[in-house]
A and B are shown apart, each in its own frame.
Chain A
Amino acid sequence: MKKYFPWLYFWKLTGSIFSAIAAFLIFILFFSLNKVDDFLNHSSFIGLFFLLLISSFLVSLFIAYRFSLPMKKIVLKAMRLANKRLFFEFAETDLEKDPFFESENPEFLELEQYLEQIKSKLKKRREQIAHGYEESKTLMSAIEEAVVSVDKNEQVLFFNSAFASKFVPRTTLSTKSSESKIPLSQIFRDSEILNLFDQALQKGQSGKIQKSMLTQMDSRERIFSLSVSPLKDQKSHEVFEVMGIFHDISELKWAEKIRAEFVENASHELRTPLTSITGYLDLIKEEAQSGQSETILENILIVNKSVNRLNALVNDLLTLSKLEHGERPKIEKINPEMVTTEVIQKLNLYAHKKNVQISFHNHGVEFVQADASKLEQVISNLVENGIKYNRDPGQVEIHWHLYGSGCQLIVKDYGPGIAPIHQERLFERFYRVDRARSRDVGGTGLGLAIVKHIMNIHGGTVSVKSDIGLGTEFICHFP
Chain B
Amino acid sequence: MKLEQIKRYMMDMGQNVESALDHAIKALVKREIEGFKLVHEIEKRTNQFHIQLDDECLAFLAMHGPVAKDLRLIFSIIKINSDLERMGDQAVNIAYTGLDYMGRRPIALPAEIEEMSHIVQKMVRDSLDSFVREDLTLAQDVLQLDNKVDERKNKVFKDLMHLIRQQPENVEAAMDIILIARNLERVGDHATNIAEDVIFIGTGKDIRHGGSQHT
Chain A residues engaging chain B, CB cutoff 8 angstroms: 169, 171-172, 185-186, 189-191, 194, 214, 219
Contact = CB atoms under 8 A, between A and B. Distances in A.
Contact of B128 (A171, A189, A219): A189
A191 B8 contact: yes
Most buried by A among B8, B14, B137, B138: B8
B112 interface: no
Contact of B11 (A191, A214, A219): A191
A186 B135 CA distance: 10
A172 B132 CA distance: 11
Contact of A189 (B4, B15, B137): B15
A172 B133 contact: yes
20 contacts: A169-B129, A169-B135, A169-B138, A171-B133, A171-B135, A185-B7, A185-B8, A186-B132, A186-B134, A189-B14, A189-B128, A189-B129, A190-B15, A191-B8, A191-B11, A191-B12, A191-B15, A194-B8, A214-B125, A219-B122
Nearest to B125: A214
Contacts of A186: 132-134
A185 B132 contact: yes
In the complex, which range does the number of interface residues on chain B fall in? 10 to 19
Contacts of B137: 171
Contacts of B14: 189
A169 B132 CA distance: 12
A35 B133 CA distance: 96
Interface of B: 4, 7-8, 11-12, 14-15, 122, 125, 128-129, 132-135, 137-138
A214 B121 CA distance: 12
A8 B7 CA distance: 61
B108 to A, nearest CB: 15
Contacts of B11: 185, 189, 191
SS of B interface (majority): helix
Contacts of A185: 4, 7-8, 11, 132
Contacts of B4: 185
A254 to B, nearest CB: 19
A19 B8 CA distance: 77
A247 B133 CA distance: 24
A190 B15 CA distance: 7
A214 B132 CA distance: 16
Nearest to A171: B135
Contacts of A191: 8, 11-12, 15
A169 B141 CA distance: 14
Nearest to B118: A219
Nearest to B136: A171
A290 B59 CA distance: 90
A168 to B, nearest CB: 10
Contacts of B7: 185
Most buried by B among A169, A194, A214: A169
Contacts of B133: 169, 171-172, 186
A172 B137 CA distance: 11
Contacts of B12: 191
Nearest to A198: B8
The 10 closest A-B pairs by CB, nearest first: A189-B11, A191-B12, A189-B132, A186-B133, A171-B135, A186-B132, A171-B137, A191-B15, A172-B133, A185-B132
Given A171-B138, A172-B135, A185-B7, 19 more contacts: A169-B129, A169-B133, A169-B135, A169-B138, A171-B135, A172-B133, A185-B8, A185-B132, A186-B132, A186-B133, A189-B15, A189-B128, A190-B15, A191-B8, A191-B11, A191-B12, A194-B8, A214-B125, A219-B122
A171 B130 CA distance: 11
B145 to A, nearest CB: 13
Nearest to A175: B135
A414 B137 CA distance: 47
A4 B135 CA distance: 52
A245 to B, nearest CB: 22
